[in-house]
Chains A and B, each alone.
Chain A
Amino acid sequence: DGGITQSPKYLFRKEGQNVTLSCEQNLNHDAMYWYRQDPGQGLRLIYYSQIVNDFQKGDIAEGYSVSREKKESFPLTVTSAQKNPTAFYLCASSIAGTANNQPQHFGDGTRLSIL
């Protein structure tokens, strides 16, 4: 079955550490996205990528970094510069381009907590 796999499901970080969240998709989608979700709030866009080796900052990119070396993979690194990293992180993918009727498909998320 095609889908998006995020790992790990739960992740703990010590102060000052960088951590990397994995996102893999086998839907053959060109576009991939990272969102942050805080309790009781909506989704905020961190980074997105429309094509391999290219990505753009979203609304809250500070303290995060990404890479897009393969079509299937879009890992997110939460750096020590992110002062409040505790949140639920969601990865999504979609058919690329500017046609506006394509939905995004989501993974099951990674919950990051600070020790």
Chain B
Amino acid sequence: GNSVTQMEGPVTLSEEAFLTINCTYTATGYPSLFWYVQYPGEGLQLLLKATKADDKGSNKGFEATYRKETTSFHLEKGSVQVSDSAVYFCALSSPGSARQLTFGSGTQLTVLP
């Protein structure tokens, strides 16, 4: 079956530090890959997505590249801000699946001023 594995948190960084959150997946076929962000007390918001190998998704300074050879979709940001503090979820969607999304367990990020 499908699965998503994220690096365990929590992750604590100083403002302007470089961020990497690792995500690897197992899936049949050619899935689409997503990163969602959840701010405290809120629902999930789509951060970025990539639908085929070597695609790079980007939004608000965050980037992730769909690497089929390593089955990975790592999230990166060059300079984090305090406002980036949130929980980040990696997810995949397999073709032909009515359920659509399989989520990782989430990574808590705290950015200190």
Q: Residues on A close to B: CB < 8 A?
A: 4, 6, 31, 33, 40-43, 45, 48, 50, 56, 58, 90, 92, 94, 96, 98-109
Contact = CB atoms under 8 A, between A and B. Distances in A.
Contacts, number: 68
A90 B49 CA distance: 20
Interface of B: 31-32, 34, 36, 41-46, 49, 51, 89, 93-101, 103-106, 108
Contacts of B101: 104
Nearest to A106: B43
B99 A94 contact: no
A101 B32 CA distance: 6
B31 A50 contact: no
Contacts of B98: 31, 48, 50, 56, 96, 98
A101 B51 contact: yes
Nearest to A50: B98
6 contacts: A4-B43, A31-B98, A41-B105, A43-B103, A102-B93, A106-B44
Contact of A41 (B42, B93, B97, B106): B106
Question: Main SS of the interface on chain B?
Answer: loop
B31 A90 contact: no
A56 to B, nearest CB: 7
Most buried by A among B32, B41, B98, B108: B98
A104 B91 CA distance: 11
Given A42-B104, A92-B44, A106-B36, 12 more contacts: A40-B108, A41-B106, A42-B105, A58-B99, A90-B43, A100-B93, A100-B95, A100-B100, A101-B51, A104-B44, A107-B43, A109-B41
